[in-house]
Amino acid sequence: MSNGRTISTRTESEVVTASLLQDFLALIKIGIVNSNMITTFTGLFLAIQFTSGHFLHKLDLLIYTLGGTGLIIAGSAALNNLIDRDIDPIMTRTNSRPTVTGRFKAPAVLTLALTFIVVGEILLFSASTAAGLWGLAGIFSYVVLYSMWSKRKHVSNTVVGSISGAIPPLIGWAAVEPALGAGAWALFLIMFIWQPPHFYALAMRRTEEYRAANIPMLPVVKGFKRTKKSMLGWVLLLLPIPFLLPQLGIGFLVLATALNIGWLYLAMKGFTVKNDLKWATGMFVYSLNYMTILFVAMIIFSIFI
């Protein structure tokens, strides 16, 4: 029977533990970790299929590669949060990060990040030397080229940042086939080209926040019209890329082309819409679904080659 008072079923320690876990996941940017694990796994799985290997015989590589990639991405994300703790308070999207609130102190974050990166690289080098080297390239491009150099200085920061985002499938592929095949570079190109229109859509929605933080994102520096033209150009570049993966068959090519045409239609529609932010939200959501559907489809179609 209720006595009219709300009875909490969670103890104070449970609430603190839950909050700590949430802060930790925010620190390592768990969403980015998860999405990159998908592309890493796709690279590894396709390399096995394209080289006529057997997935069950490569479970050790799977553990080393996914574990290592997840750790270096988490560590690099933590370093990014550490680097950006002076500008994150300005933006609504980032002002609750634990490096801003003080929940995680800088020395602890640095120690955690470097530990994750070192352990992650040990795992990647256990998979193959090439996987470890590509892991180092991903760390350098994200932490140094993007976070420390281009993000605050150049309008091309999104393109520079796209390099690191396109490396995970190469890591996965290199664990199986260190020399990398044409399929590996097709995955790299898909991820590299996909990122600018994806992040420009986000930047349009957060333009004033980026302006306040003095981050030279394309919508801030060049305006919405120029950003829309750039997004259209990047989507157009995606059109021929699926044809670099003919091994996946006609079904995949039809699906990928349909996804590209759908995104192209949405990009062109941006020049006639009245509500730019609503359109940008649609572009952002489409890009997320695009990436998920495309990479899952690659795995499914590769099983039948």
In the prediction, which pLDDT does 178 show?
Answer: 96
In the prediction, which pLDDT does 305 show?
Answer: 77
Residue 146 clears pLDDT 70, i.e. is over it: yes
Name the CA radius of gyration of the chain, rounded: 21
Average pLDDT of the chain?
A: 93
CATH of region 16-303: 1.10.600
Mean pLDDT on 37-57: 94
Residue 10 clears pLDDT 90, i.e. is over it: no
Give the span between the Cα atoms of 111 and 255, in whole angstroms. 44
Mean pLDDT on 35-48: 97
Give the span between the Cα atoms of 138 and 168, in whole angstroms. 8
Give the span between the Cα atoms of 173 and 154, in whole angstroms. 31
| Interior/surface letters 20-43, b for 16+ CB within 10 angstroms, e for the rest | eeebbebbbbbebbebbbbbbbbb
Higher pLDDT, 51 or 14: 51
Mean pLDDT on 2-20: 51
Residue 258 clears pLDDT 60, i.e. is over it: yes
Give the span between the Cα atoms of 267 and 148, in whole angstroms. 31
Mean pLDDT on 101-107: 92
CA distances from 293 to 24, 287, 296 (A): 28, 10, 5
Give the pLDDT band of residue 13 (cuts 50, 70, 90).
low
Higher pLDDT, 305 or 109: 109
In the prediction, which pLDDT does 39 show?
Answer: 97
Residue 141 clears pLDDT 80, i.e. is over it: yes
Give the span between the Cα atoms of 69 and 132, in whole angstroms. 9
Domains of the chain by residue range: 16-303
Q: Name the percent of the chain lying above pLDDT 70.
A: 94
Mean pLDDT on 90-106: 90
Give the span between the Cα atoms of 272 and 201, in whole angstroms. 16
Mean pLDDT on 296-300: 96
Residue 271 clears pLDDT 90, i.e. is over it: yes
Write the pLDDT tens digit of every residue in 188-230. 999 999 999 999 999 999 999 999 999 999 999 999 999 999 9
- The residue to which tokens 């150009």 are assigned: 233
Write the pLDDT tens digit of every residue in 221-231. 999 999 999 99
Residue 29 clears pLDDT 60, i.e. is over it: yes
